[in-house]
Amino acid sequence: MRGALQSGRLAFGFAAGGLLFPCYLGATAELQAAGVLREETSVAGASAGSIIAVCLKSGLSLEAITAVMFDLVADCRAGGSFARLGPLLERTLRDALPSDAAQRASGRVHVAVTHLAPHLRPWLVTHFQDRDDLIAAVMTSCHIPFYFNGRPVTMYRRRPCLDGGFTDFLPDVPDAAHAVRVCCQPVNGHARIGHAAIAPGVFEAWPVDAHTMREWTFKPAEEQQLCALIEAGRQHAGSWLHANGLAGRGAGRALPLASSSCGPRRGEPSACSACRFGTGAEAGARNS
């Protein structure tokens, strides 16, 4: 682990997770504050994990990612997510990603998609032709049949494809010396994520039942629950850092079931401590 970190070959893979993505915002903040997830760190992602991976490596701040994603969730909450999530996500990515996003992300981001023909197989996309190709890769990685945009499959680079989570739920970065798997689903509820290093239930009991977590995956939770998921992500990553001697807070602190609603929006500072992402020094002060 330490050797991989020192050599710059420690990598992170973010699992599929639907609308539970706020866990990744908190985990990422903690890992960045500890100096473990760096600008040059390679990442992989499937479905919701591809969103956080691409946004991070395209140069967006955590504040910006939180604001645009909370806007997306608010729209889903008001009008529903079934067959609407796809168009909303595409609009969000086109509004948020910078013009040079593909150049920034190429070689540092691995987006998992599922190639359909002649049979289901995983496909990690690492290099992107341009911004449109990068956005299309994320859209493909998130394409749950019918739910995403009403269509059973999507075409990516002239190939029929589906959500990357179907065949590569928790993707690794190829050639990494050590890949850390991050998941926002409870490990005790999914056999295939039993090897997640950072996830609900790895270091502490997870207080939310499986039925509620499945519901929040496809139907957005209220904002106070989303804020609580951000703080839970911080705790999961902090416990992993502590367990591996990489600083961070130790396990054992009670996980939040809810937080005061903050409703972060683009251009507006958040009043919620869970949704404020400061500098490494500020984050370090939170961990002490």
pLDDT, one tens digit for every residue, the chain (288 residues): 778 888 888 999 999 999 999 999 999 999 999 999 999 999 999 999 999 999 999 999 999 999 999 999 999 999 999 999 999 999 999 999 999 999 999 999 999 999 998 889 999 999 999 999 999 999 999 999 999 999 999 999 999 999 999 999 999 999 899 999 999 988 765 545 558 999 998 988 899 988 899 999 999 999 999 999 999 999 999 999 999 998 754 444 444 444 444 555 555 545 465 555 554 434 444 444
Say what the pLDDT of residue 280 is. 43
Say what the pLDDT of residue 194 is. 55
Integer CA distances (angstroms), 107 to 18, 101, 124, 240, in order? 25, 12, 11, 26
Say what the pLDDT of residue 189 is. 53
Integer CA distances (angstroms), 92 to 191, 230, 267, 277, in order? 32, 20, 15, 21
Say what the pLDDT of residue 269 is. 47
**What's 107-129 look like in SS3?**
CCEEEEEEECCCCCEEEEECCCC
Say what the pLDDT of residue 287 is. 42
Structure tokens at 204: 């502490």
Structure tokens at 232: 């839970």
Strand partners, 12: 43, 180
- C-alpha 177/C-alpha 163 separation (Å) is 27
Half-sphere exposure in the Cβ direction for 208 (13 Å, CA): 24
- DSSP letter at 143? -
Q: What are the residue ranges of helices labelled H in the chain?
A: 2-7, 22-33, 48-57, 62-79, 85-96, 101-105, 131-141, 210-218, 223-243, 280-287
Say what the pLDDT of residue 284 is. 44
Taking the complete model, does pTM exceed 0.75, yes or no? yes
Helix, strand, coil percentages in the chain from 3-state DSSP, rounded to 5:
45, 10, 45
Say what the pLDDT of residue 236 is. 94
Q: Position 157: which residue type?
A: R
Say what the pLDDT of residue 12 is. 97
Q: Position 18: which residue type?
A: G
- C-alpha 23/C-alpha 8 separation (Å) is 25
- C-alpha 23/C-alpha 232 separation (Å) is 6
In three-state secondary structure terms, 155 is: strand
